[in-house]
Amino acid sequence: MASEAYRESGVDLDRMDGLKERIKGFAASTHGPEVLDSAGSFAGVYQLSGYREPVLVSSTDGVGTKIKIAAQLGHFESVGQDLVVLNVNDILTRGAKPLFFLDYVAFSNLDTQRLDTLMRGIAWGCREVGCSLIGGETAQMPQVYTGGDMDLAGFVVGAVEREQLLESRNIKEGNVLIGMPSSGLHTNGFSLVRHVFNTDANPNVLYKRFDELNHQLGEELLVPHRSYYPLMEPVLRLINGLAHITGGGLPGKLPAILPDDLAAEITRGSWTVLPIFNLIQKEGKISDQEMYRVFNMGLGMVAVCPEANVTKILECLPDAVVIGKMIPRGDGEQVVFID
């Protein structure tokens, strides 16, 4: 009778239990021998090995209001991948290998198909970077969320040898800035995008083809966040610093890895600004300054390396480009754009 009363309040325990069993299947597809049997436990267990002096590196983040676009289009695999990738990219900036991942999903109405596709995307993201999905939480909260609303967060833990940890003190004057192209918006600036295109009031605009794009707007907005770990892992020993360009853009994210006495001098036009950014700027009549503070503008990662290592890095990363160099800061900003 208790479960019947709970069902009347909006929570179906039987369906939730069935969903959690399906989630276990997705998680198992990401497990290696490091994940110890935790059946019936309240916590995942991971055995760390192969390190002499390991430093654990962690991150947590969500996909923001990109999830509203996913809900309007009924496609959740990409935001599931995004959830893993954006967190792994964050710990990559310290040189860390991702070990295990946990997710948190909260919603009002239990939609099994929606959650199946979401978990499939999370599992895809974990397998792409060799990360184990060892736990998480799925909560039905009808008094907090309404209709199709939901919330999504991810948590990742990685490890790196202490001597290989990327730190600001390693960055020197004269070091070169190398940019890694983004795949699009990634997961940032979606509140502004939704405002520019008025997607809440007019979701049909997501099916519109704009001259600047080769497909519908909605397809562009759901392009998955690029995963940089498989690309950057082979060259981590060649770089002194690495910045993940997310919300805040180049001016907001590069300073997080720089010594106080140095500035990043960036040459405009040295990389390709993707068409979606030009479309957003045109439709929203947004200034250059605001665009660069909100969006990645076509660069998802920026590495800082000694000049002697540039050729080798570019050989390993064919679409990477040199975008600038490190200079003395003086009294100015830590990110300086030149033409």
- State pLDDT tens for residues 310-328: 999 999 999 999 999 999 9
Distance of CA 271 to the CA centre of its chain: 21
pLDDT, one tens digit per residue, over 270-304 is 999 999 999 999 999 999 999 999 999 999 999 99
Taking alpha carbons only, the member of 324, 330, 254, 250 closest to residue 290 is: 250
| Cβ neighbours around 32 below 10 Å, total | 9
pLDDT tier for residue 25 given thresholds of 50, 70 and 90: low
pLDDT given at position 303: 98
Q: What angle do CA 136, 110, 145 make, to 5 degrees?
A: 85
pLDDT given at position 2: 46
pLDDT given at position 1: 42
Domains of the chain, first to last? 2-164 (3.30.1330.10), 168-338 (3.90.650.10)
Q: Is pTM beyond 0.85 here?
A: yes
Higher pLDDT, 227 or 107: 227
Percent helix, percent strand, percent coil in the chain, to nearest 5: 40, 25, 35
- Asked whether the beta carbons of 146 and 115 are under 8 A apart, the reply is no
Single-letter residue type at 311: T
Instruction: Flag the least confident range among 38-52, 162-176, 279-293.
Output: 38-52
DSSP letter at 42 equals S
Is the confidence at residue 163, as pLDDT, over 90?
yes
Taking alpha carbons only, the member of 160, 311, 332, 141 closest to residue 229 is: 160
Instruction: Flag the least confident range among 44-48, 81-85, 91-95, 237-241.
Output: 44-48
Give the pLDDT mean for 201-209.
Answer: 96
300 φψ region: left (φ > 0), alpha (ψ -120 to 50), beta (else)? alpha
Residues 6+ apart with CB under 8 A from 46: 34, 35, 36, 99, 100, 132, 134, 157
Quote the percentage of the chain above a pLDDT of 90.
73
- Asked whether the beta carbons of 102 and 154 are under 8 A apart, the reply is yes
Rounded to an integer, what distance in angstroms lies between the CA atom of residue 254 and that of residue 265? 11
- Asked whether the beta carbons of 66 and 170 are under 8 A apart, the reply is no
Q: Compute the mean pLDDT over every residue in the chain, rounded to the nearest whole number.
A: 90
Straight-line distance from the first to the last Cα atom of the chain, in angstroms, rounded to the nearest whole number: 71
Place of tokens 């990634």: 186
Quote the percentage of the chain above a pLDDT of 70.
90
- Asked whether the beta carbons of 93 and 35 are under 8 A apart, the reply is no
Rounded to an integer, what distance in angstroms lies between the CA atom of residue 247 and that of residue 166? 21
